[in-house]
Amino acid sequence: MKQLVFAIGHVKLNTTDMDALVKDSTDVLGLRVTNRTDSEVWLSANGRAAELVVVRADEKSFHTIGLEALTADDVAAAKANVEGAGCRILSDEPSLSCMDAGVTFATPEGLRFEIHTPTRDDLYRPRYDTVGVGPRRLDHVNLISPNPDATRHQLTAICGMRMSEKLANDSLTWMYGGNRQHHILGLVKGAVGVHHYSFEFPEFNMYCRLGDILDRHDRQLIWGPGRHRPGDNTYAYYYDPAGCIVECSGPMAIIPDDAHFQPRIITNLERPGNVREMNVWGTPAPLEWREAHFPFQSLD
């Protein structure tokens, strides 16, 4: 099946304190505000109209994971596969005015996705003034599903996403799309929610700046910098004000030979022998990272 999804498109977060999350996303991470209403704020790391959408709500939760398709025809093709994959369509209109087409659907496990055309992009004006670090782009999301194997098969059936790597016990699976980076989604086993959302840092010295900015706000990194073996990307993690983990990730490995690629199955699952499976530099993941959980908005 053709890969109908190219990359991660946008993420929407509900929060009870919209101003605090927007301020943190600009002053620490270094995003810019592109659109603001009483109910939501769009933020971006580049010339795109929206990558992080902050929604005013009565709870702190993840609202939607947006998956970017390149054309309206690809959105329509994905929509045609939703019900056959055991999922239900919530809307067949784009959720943001900066998109031409979109379809939002829910999985039986309680996850909400929107497959949509790219948001408007001022390609030749990617840089802007910021007091924050200034990442390059939204990179990936690690969601949490009570049945990650079912979620993986749903995404494959709907939009052609493929597995790049997984732990043998299915506790963590990585999936890639048309841009061929190692993963745009990670699937963690657990109560439905999100583990983290990630922006790309193209330069390693950006981690130094991030750590210093967090220190000025009397905060600190949860884990990192380090280098993941799955994806071969550098990383560091911290909490946003809503309580969700933000990852800052270096560029990932690319899967160029898609026709002959075989997903890697990690069978070394026990500590301490498996520590370098997740961080080749040897620092183990702390308990708060391993047990992190940010809830997904309940679906009616």
pLDDT, tens digit, 9 for 90 and up, residues 58-86:
999 999 999 999 999 999 999 999 999 99
Q: Does residue 53 sit within a domain? A: yes
CA dihedral 263, 267, 272, 276 (to 10 degrees): -20
For 217, the token pair is 């706000």
Regions of the chain short of the pLDDT cut 70 = 300
Q: Does residue 105 sit within a domain? A: yes
Please state whether the peptide bond connecting residue 272 to the residue before it is cis, i.e. omega within 30 degrees of 0.
yes
Instruction: Say if residues 166 and 266 touch (Cβ distance below 8 Å).
Output: yes
- Render pLDDT for 251-299 as a digit per residue (tens, 0 to 9): 999 999 999 999 999 999 988 888 999 999 999 999 999 999 999 999 8
- Residue 52's beta-bridge partner residues? 11, 43
- How many Å apart are CA 49 and CA 46, to the nearest integer? 8
Its pTM surpasses 0.95: yes
Q: Does residue 101 sit within a domain? A: yes
Q: Does residue 2 sit within a domain? A: no
pLDDT of residue 85: 98
Q: Does residue 129 sit within a domain? A: no
What CATH number does the domain containing 191 carry?
A: 3.10.180.10
Q: Does residue 300 sit within a domain? A: no
Q: Does residue 247 sit within a domain? A: yes
Give, rounded to a whole angstrom, the gap between the first and last alpha carbons of the chain: 31
Instruction: Say if residues 161 and 5 touch (Cβ distance below 8 Å).
Output: yes
Closest by CA to 38, choosing from 23, 59, 19, 20, is 19
Domain that holds residue 95: 7-124+134-295
pLDDT of residue 1: 84
pLDDT of residue 90: 98
**β-strand 162-167 against 234-239: which pairing, if any?**
unpaired
Question: Domain total for the chain?
Answer: 1
**Residue 256 dihedral angles phi and psi, to the nearest 5°:** -80, -35
Q: Does residue 225 sit within a domain? A: yes
